[in-house]
A and B are shown apart, each in its own frame.
Chain A
Amino acid sequence: MNTFKSLKEFYWPDKRLFIWSIIFLIIMTILTMAYPIVLQFAIDEVVLSANWGLLPYLAGGFVVITALKAAATYNHQYYGDLFGIRAVYRLRSRLYKKLQYLPFRFYDNAKTGDLMSRLTADVEGFRFFLSFGCAQLLNLVLLVTFSFAVMMYYSVPLALVSLAAMPFLAVAVYRFDKRVHPAFKNIRLSFASLTTKVQENVSGMSTVKSLSREDFEMGRFDGKNADYKDKSLYTSTIWAKFFPVMELIGNVCVVVLLGFGGYLVIQGQLQLGQLAASFSLIWYIIGPLMNLGFIINTFSQSKASGERIVEVLDEKEDITSTTFSEPVDRLNGEIVFHHVTHTYPGETQKALKDITFHASPGETIGLIGATGAGKTTITQLISRFYKPDEGEVLIDGRAINQYRLEDLRAHVGFVLQESFIFSSTIRDNIAYGRPDASLKEVIDAAKRAQAHEFIMELQDGYETVLGERGMGLSGGQKQRISIARAILINPAILVLDDATSAVDMETEHRIQAAFQEVMKGRTTFVIAHRISSLKHADQILVLENGRIAERGRHEELLKKEGIYKNIYDIQFQDRETVMQEKV
């Protein structure tokens, strides 16, 4: 019940819809009783009493009652549905918002498929209960009570004897539910795992093909497919076992009704019409009870769904703006790392150890070092994507957690190491950080990133719609679009995380030249493996295992004969010879 309580804010604002739906439901159930009563009346009061004058009223009255019932049914269902889908609307908005603000930490270990299923299937499961589950439960109680009351009114012994088998039905329903519930859960899990497999296979198709692993994949998929089939078959055997039994119990009740009821009629203790009506009434009792298992099942499923939704909603947004931070218009770009140590959540090894440096506004900082040395980590701390364990990061002399998050990030242009392209036009992709930018500004940024030329070669130019993850572009083309995206927001601090790794040197050189013009007076972080990309940095930090091993300008580092010099030698060993090889 706690789940329903904590999600109350999403459905309770529409409580009026819910209440109306329930009111109409009660009316509907009461009117359902009309049919057997009319039947009984027709036989006992009209036929057997030869009271033919009542006939038109009876038939007419029945039509009128059914019309009323139809209206009630319509309203009940409509209001119930509306109650559910409004809750879905709110829930989805909130979940989406939540996802937008959850920190990187959360996404590092998240499965897209799992999140998706919470936002879709679980929201749907929860709605189903709001719209139907609740009402069905109530409907069941009302229908059974009313029908039983009418039967008791006709004949107490008949009601008791013919419903004597009910406890057996209850047992069957109970056992059915106990077995079918986990079986359904298994089907769901099995299907989820099948879905994940297919998704991964399709996303990684190039890898599969490049290693010719199609047969292997078919084998893996077959396992999941067979599992899903087996789980479904198992569930259907439960069905096959219990459902006919429940039906049989119901039928036994009918038989008893016929035998005992017939006896009572013969004895004169019951009227024939009452017996006829009881044939309908008894199904009003048995039918819903057979469904009880399902209703309980929906209930527990939607509770589980609700729990999974609450889990997402309760996920901590541990990186937020402090309330008293004032908005800032512009940053100068002075950055200080003060003994910063960072460990990724759940890891034992430190990714950064005691990092200290100072970047003055307008400086270019180069970061170089082995794979996994911590270069990306440093830059991600600037934008507060993660929270360091120890130490402080300051911008313009103020600790970064004193800024509003959106101000901070709006002033840091980030070109992530892996370029991500949205399914949208090239123009919208470049203008992602500033949707209101004019086309001229977009073109300007693209020119600076050396992307304009190839964009113009495309048939629709800037209006070309790119596919998922930038399908149809070469690696370097994607990177240049990402760079243009960063330039366009005109940031005070620019981070280029290996942003030109797939771009050839000449193009890179042109991009850098353009940067020098744009980045006057701004602070730039350049992560690269090529010495040529870093050479002009005002400060180069050489990282090794999360520590700063060397620092200084290019020339200073060459003199040190350390890691940097070594990299330089590898990359430029035959510079002299090359330069001498004259044409």
Chain B
Amino acid sequence: MKKKNAVPNRADKGRFRYSQDQIIDKAFNWEQIRRLLHYMKPYSKKLLPLAVIAMLAATSVRLAAPVLIGYTIDEAIQPGDWNLLMGITIFIASMYALAWIANTFRIKWINQMGQYIIYDLRKDLFNHLQKLSHRFFDQRSAGSILVRVTNDINSLQELFTNGVINLLMDIVMLVGIISILFVLSPELTIAIMIVLPIMFYISTNLRRKIRRSWQTVRLKQSTLNSHLNESIQGIRVTQAYTQEKENMGYFTDLNTDNYEAWEQATRKSAMFRPLVELSNAAGTAILIWYGIYLINAESITIGEFVAFATFLGMFWEPISRLGQIYNQLLMAMASSERIFEYMDEKPSVPEKPNAKELKAIKGDIRLESVAFSYDDKRTALHEMDLHMKPGQTFALVGHTGSGKTTIVNLISRFYDPTKGRVLIDGNDLRNVTLDSLRSQVSMVLQDTFIFSGTIMENIRFGRPDASDEEVKKAAYHVGADGFIRALKNGYETEVEERGNVLSVGERQLISFARALLADPRILILDEATASIDTETEQIIQSALKKLLEGRTAIMIAHRLSTIREADEIVVLDHGRMMEQGSHHELMKQGGEYYRLVRAQFNVLDTG
């Protein structure tokens, strides 16, 4: 990055903070080119050579035409040779017919190749994202990930379709034109070539400036988009706190920043075409002056002069496009760097190559001197030993932020412990395949997420091959069947993302049903009933008792009535385990748990 953008940032000191991507002006990186080319490989045997042949055929025709026209003028029209004129005309016509066929195939084949490559690339990226771990998603906003899968990949599309073939075509064209001109008249060619460096300069240098200014615009735009996205999602808070005007103030800053950057970019890009035309005109002026002088000196003919004029008109196009491709390439470097950055990202909970399948889990969970920190700054769990026996129900209690969610995150292996190990049935989680683990461990999350689609589809997400009946049964067990049936279209009711038309408790019930449907060996409930009323919760609990016969369940809850029934209760405080035992044992001990329970009743009595 050489230059800072000159546009002031009003919005930087505003009430929202969005991390910005840097302006990337990456130099050529052969390693990346190699990786990109790798994607072309499957098609380099058939599609690419075919397209190149078609391209060569079409280009030869384009190169030959002006020469032939010049020849016609000199040999047929001026001498008045009617037959020759007819003959050449028919010949040119048949050449054009050939070009027509060649072009048809070129466009078809090259687009096929490009689209297949883009498809492959996008698929690889998306699939790779699925393998990445929580830590990766913790650190990035959804918007910035989205942009890579959509826009960054799309910006490679042009390169892979027309870019590659045009690059070849333009080089052939340029070399072709210059050689033909040299054959026709070396002096005139040299005279005209004087403008060539100017053209190249404009094409590369000015373009680079223009591109930089557009990059600035794009960065501003992406901040603007992030804000739009957030302001739509947080609109309820905004309206509840009447912050509409303040937000508009912030947005005006963003909008103005964007406008100013845009205006500057426009100013620069508007210069491009006029400059190009001017340099082209210089070439034409030389042609007219010197060319006619040469005609006068009888060193070229009028036909050659016309051919020169035509070629000169054709000259700019490949140079301009080469400049464009060069730009495209630089932008593609930036995009592909961002894409490969994600592809190179290793899952922070990697699967070992020799990882084994976890057999049907019995449910013996062990944490051996486990310590954990999310960000290496704060410790979420201090050294902790914990044992949960198979088939039992565990409850984790403790103050907010004491590390309850963290423990279950470790058991599902969303994160690996910083120290120590987590074992299920005696297997270190680091040695088993993720799929065999997670398909047997289901978690109802503290933050529910509803996908857009029908309620049926949402529940079925837990097990895509479940029948309608099974889905309904799962809903029935969590006491959701009643309200779903009461909806306008029952199970087929469509909900939008995050399920805004449902009450919060209803959403929680749906995600609960989803987890039950997955039929896990270990069920984890992270405050899964926090927004659900006590009576429904009772229904769920008695249903669970039957459903979870012989399976291990871990629940996190603040409501005493939820946890009292647990076989074992683990009390946490500031990332440390304070005590473990059944309700009665812990009450007898009179420790932290006893204090918590007492406190609850005291709340009832005093307060």
Contacts and interface: CB of A to CB of B under 8 A. Distances in A.
A259 B596 CA distance: 101
A244 B104 contact: yes
A370 B536 contact: yes
Interface string B522-537: 0000010011111110
Interface string B239-269: 1111110111001100110110011001101
Interface string A513-536: 100000000000000011110011
A198 interface: yes
Given A262-B77, A432-B243, A529 B532 contact: yes
Interface in B212-237: 221, 225-226, 228-237
B277 A66 contact: yes
B535 A370 contact: yes
A458 to B, nearest CB: 7
A313 to B, nearest CB: 16
Interface string B272-315: 01110110111011101100110110000010011001100100
Contact of A99 (B235, B594, B600): B235
A273 to B, nearest CB: 9
Nearest to B154: A191
Contacts of B401: 454, 474, 476-477
7 smallest A-B Cβ distances: which pairs? A476-B400, A371-B505, A70-B274, A212-B438, A236-B111, A66-B281, A583-B590
Contact of A212 (B134, B230, B252, B439): B439
A195 B111 contact: no
Interface stretch (B116-124, B179-187, B197-205): B116-124
Interface in A209-239: 209-218, 221-222, 225-226, 228-229, 232-233, 236-237, 239
Interface string A394-426: 000000000001100110101011101011110
A489 B241 contact: yes
A466 B293 CA distance: 74
A200 interface: yes
A247 B103 contact: yes
B288 A100 contact: no
B98 to A, nearest CB: 10
Contacts of A259: 85-86, 89
Contacts of B377: 459
Contacts of A417: 504, 531
A63 B534 contact: no
A39 to B, nearest CB: 6
Which interface class (under 10, 10 to 19, 20 to 34, 35 or more) fits A?
Answer: 35 or more
B277 A244 contact: no
B238 interface: yes
A63 B280 CA distance: 10
A507 B558 CA distance: 11
Contacts of A263: 82, 85
Contact of A266 (B82, B282, B439): B82
B138 interface: yes
Contacts of B237: 416, 420, 422, 432
Given A104-B236, A498-B531, A42 B288 contact: yes
B604 interface: yes
A211 B514 contact: yes
Q: Is the interface of A mostly helix, strand, loop or mixed?
A: helix
B69 A279 contact: yes
Given A368-B533, A498-B504, 19 more contacts: A77-B273, A78-B267, A116-B229, A210-B414, A236-B111, A276-B73, A276-B306, A376-B503, A409-B239, A423-B16, A468-B143, A475-B405, A475-B446, A477-B401, A501-B527, A503-B558, A505-B596, A535-B607, A567-B533
A506 interface: yes
B29 interface: no
Given A239-B107, A567-B534, A571-B534, A532 B228 contact: no
B501 A109 contact: yes
B481 to A, nearest CB: 13
Interface stretch (B144-152, B169-177, B318-326, B331-339): B144-152
Interface stretch (A4-12, A132-140, A167-175, A344-352): A344-352
Q: Is the interface of B mostly helix, strand, loop or mixed?
A: helix
Interface string B53-88: 000000000000100010011001110101001101
B225 A218 contact: no
A472 B506 CA distance: 26
Contacts of B501: 108-109, 344, 347
Nearest to B502: A372
Contacts of B596: 504-506
Interface stretch (B424-432, B447-455, B467-475): B447-455
B324 to A, nearest CB: 17
Interface residues of B, number: 190
B146 A195 contact: yes
Interface in A89-132: 89, 92-93, 96-97, 99-102, 104, 107-112, 115-116, 119-120
A78 B270 contact: yes
30 contacts: A96-B251, A101-B244, A115-B232, A198-B146, A199-B142, A200-B497, A202-B146, A210-B444, A213-B462, A236-B107, A239-B111, A247-B103, A255-B93, A262-B72, A276-B73, A279-B306, A373-B533, A420-B237, A467-B139, A498-B530, A501-B530, A503-B558, A505-B599, A506-B399, A507-B400, A512-B603, A532-B603, A535-B607, A567-B534, A571-B561
Interface in A159-216: 191, 194-196, 198-216
Contact of B483 (A371, A459, A535): A371
Contact of A251 (B96, B412, B448, B483): B96
Contact of B18 (A89, A213, A221, A423): A423
A479 B400 CA distance: 10
Contact of B447 (A245, A251, A475): A475
B435 interface: yes
Nearest to B591: A583
Given A472-B375, A505-B600, A58 B288 contact: yes
Given A218-B126, A502-B527, A69 B277 contact: yes
B244 A209 contact: no
Contact of B236 (A107, A225, A425, A513): A107
Question: Which residue of A458, A504, A512, A572 has the most chain B CB atoms within 10 A of its CB atom?
Answer: A504
Contact of A502 (B76, B229, B232, B400): B400
A225 B284 CA distance: 49
B461 A371 contact: no
A280 B437 CA distance: 71
A581 interface: yes
A480 interface: yes
Given A62-B284, A371-B505, A506-B596, A232 B111 contact: yes
B191 to A, nearest CB: 12
Contact of A63 (B243, B281, B535): B281
A43 to B, nearest CB: 6
Contacts of B597: 578
Interface string A372-388: 11001000000101000
Contacts of B229: 112, 116
B107 A240 contact: yes
B400 A475 contact: yes
B533 A529 contact: yes
B141 interface: yes
Contacts of A86: 259
Interface in B36-58: none
Interface in A45-98: 46-47, 52, 55-56, 58-60, 62-63, 66-67, 69-71, 73-74, 77-78, 81-82, 85-86, 88-89, 92-93, 96-97
A422 B230 contact: yes
B255 A475 contact: no
A258 interface: yes
B239 A104 contact: yes
A118 to B, nearest CB: 10
Contacts of B600: 505, 532
Nearest to B58: A244
B576 interface: no
